[in-house]
């Protein structure tokens, strides 16, 4: 896995753009929607209780494409990935983020240090036999009362399926639906598990956002976020 993404260190964005070109949408649209979702998570899950700072970890951050969009969302952001080349690239572009390489199922952090740990489009690259261990490891590094979140492709959305089919680094991807993700969170010992589908409408306008939120329980959007509390 590390070698696969090492080879995309300079072309990751291009490969993603190529796989979603048919939609007419740019990668930035997806990144901005994910950043909005994480910003909302901080508020809705009350991670900033008493004005405390929020320390977040992006597991499988790749080349750090999402990080410029997260400016101001967390007081401190760490990122880790099994791909050393991706981490080098991410560090060059995001000097305020603290990066480390990690093992596939071992995060290089002490227990309970993060308020939020999230993984965007990572779990479908982890072998299903290791999914539960991946969730358990996320739980280990999140403080009691903190939250972990995964953002994943929605396997029921045909356009998502097409994008995955066209994406050169998704050839071995095993997609999991939101119900399965929620079950894994529970099995890993998390509580208060929630999920929402998003990226349904190709617009960032207020009404589109409103409609998308209303339809979020249904498996319609291109992706979903599943989060749970430690
Ligand atoms: C599709 S990319 C997503 C990158 C980034 N999260 C994003 O949304 O742009 C998947 C990333 O997950 C990393 N990865 C795969 N398995 C991992 C694991 N077990 N632990 C940490 N990173 C992993 C890969 O090296 C790759 O950079």
pLDDT tens figures, 137-175:
999 999 999 999 999 999 999 999 999 999 999 999 999
What pLDDT, on a 0 to 100 scale, did the predictor assign at position 162?
93
Asked if 132 and 126 count as a contact pair (C-beta separation under 8 A), the reply is: no
Cross-strand partners of 229: 147, 191
pLDDT tens figures, 187-215:
999 999 999 999 998 888 888 889 999 99
Alpha-carbon span 27 to 30, nearest angstrom? 5
Alpha-carbon span 174 to 181, nearest angstrom? 12
Residue 1 predicted with pLDDT over 70: no
44 confidence band (pLDDT: 50, 70, 90)? very high
Query: Strand 223-229 and strand 114-120: pairing?
Result: unpaired
Ligand 1 mean position, distance from CA 46 (Å): 27
What pLDDT, on a 0 to 100 scale, did the predictor assign at position 204?
82
Task: Please state the pTM of the whole predicted model.
Answer: 0.95
- Indicate the top mutation candidate among 93, 125, 135, 225 to test ligand 1's pocket, ranked by most ligand atoms within 8 A of CB: 125
Cross-strand partners of 88: none
Residue 218 predicted with pLDDT over 90: yes
Average pLDDT for residues 120-142, to the nearest whole number? 98
Mean residue pLDDT of the chain comes to 94
3-state secondary structure 81-119: ECCHHHHHHHHHHCCCCEEEECECCECCCCCCCEEEEEE
Residue 59 predicted with pLDDT over 90: yes
Q: Where are the domains of the chain?
A: 2-229
Alpha-carbon span 223 to 29, nearest angstrom? 13
Domain 2-229 class, CATH top level: alpha beta
Alpha-carbon span 154 to 219, nearest angstrom? 7
What pLDDT, on a 0 to 100 scale, did the predictor assign at position 7?
87
Percent residues over pLDDT 90 in the chain: 80
The first and second tokens of residue 150, run together, are 């995964």
60 lines ligand 1 (CB under 6 A): yes
125 lines ligand 1 (CB under 6 A): yes
């Amino acid at each position: 896995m590390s070698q696969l993404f090492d080879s995309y260190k300079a072309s990751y964005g291009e490969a993603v753009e190529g796989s979603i070109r048919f939609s007419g949408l740019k990668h930035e649209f997806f990144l901005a929607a994910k950043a909005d979702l994480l910003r909302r998570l901080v508020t809705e899950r009350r991670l900033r209780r008493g004005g405390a700072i929020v320390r977040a970890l992006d597991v499988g951050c790749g080349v750090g494409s999402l990080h410029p969009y997260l400016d101001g969302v967390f007081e401190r952001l760490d990122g880790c990935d099994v791909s050393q080349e991706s981490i080098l690239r991410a560090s060059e572009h995001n000097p305020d983020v603290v990066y480390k390489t990690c093992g596939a199922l071992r995060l290089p952090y002490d227990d309970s240090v993060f308020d939020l740990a999230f993984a965007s489009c990572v779990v479908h690259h982890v072998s299903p036999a290791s999914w539960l261990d991946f969730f358990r490891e996320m739980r280990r590094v999140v403080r009691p009362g903190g939250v972990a979140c995964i953002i994943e492709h929605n396997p029921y959305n045909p356009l998502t399926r097409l994008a995955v089919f066209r994406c050169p680094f998704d050839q071995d991807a095993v997609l999991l639906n939101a119900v399965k993700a929620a079950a894994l969170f529970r099995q890993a010992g998390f509580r208060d598990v929630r999920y929402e589908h998003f990226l349904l409408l190709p617009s960032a306008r207020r009404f589109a956002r409103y409609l998308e939120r209303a339809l979020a329980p249904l498996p319609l959007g291109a992706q979903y976020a599943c989060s749970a509390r430690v």
